[in-house]
Amino acid sequence: MRGKTPKRIMKPDARYQSTSVTKFINQVMRRGKKSVAERVVYQCFDLIKEKTKKDPLDIFNGALKNVAPDVEVKSRRVGGGNYQIPVVVIGNRKQALAFRWLLTAARSRKGAPISRRLADELIAAYNREGAAIKKREDTYRMAEANRAFAHFARR
């Protein structure tokens, strides 16, 4: 009974009817506490609405689009050495990396509730600044620096 595990179909979230918000809530969730994660994300969206006077879903989607990477580097052993090989990011991995980087950046900020830190990070990412955007640019820089090893990816 081996084979590929079927993709689960996510229900859109209650407030915004968006599956990407549901996935984001699931990423925010710690120790199975979904109601806490929902409260954090919805408070974050309310703060975004207060601060920017724009639709929080537009800010969220814009931030995701700005943070999601097109290329990343993967380590590969060739001959006697390990090479960082630039690889194109495909499918849902773009969204997964964007979520991860945004949350890591928000959690690394200090001195405020997580909903405020997350709101600040999403607004910063929407404006193409902040730690998550820096992470994306660092990844691009590494891919560019290791472009000479791109031919190893085709093996």
Percent of the residues in the chain that have a pLDDT greater than 90, as a whole number: 79
The pLDDT tens digits for 123-149 are 999 999 999 999 999 999 999 998 888
Q: Which fold has domain 19-154?
A: Ribosomal Protein S7 (1.10.455)
Residue from 20, 13, 17 nearest 34 by CA: 13
Q: Provide the pLDDT for residue 80.
A: 86
Q: Is pLDDT above 90 for 155?
A: no
Q: Is pLDDT above 90 for 47?
A: yes
* Residue at token pair 């193409």: 128
Q: Provide the pLDDT for residue 81.
A: 87
Write down the mean pLDDT value for the chain.
92
Q: Provide the pLDDT for residue 96.
A: 95
| 111-121: average pLDDT | 95
| 76-86: average pLDDT | 87
The pLDDT tens digits for 55-67 are 999 999 999 999 9
| 80-104: average pLDDT | 92
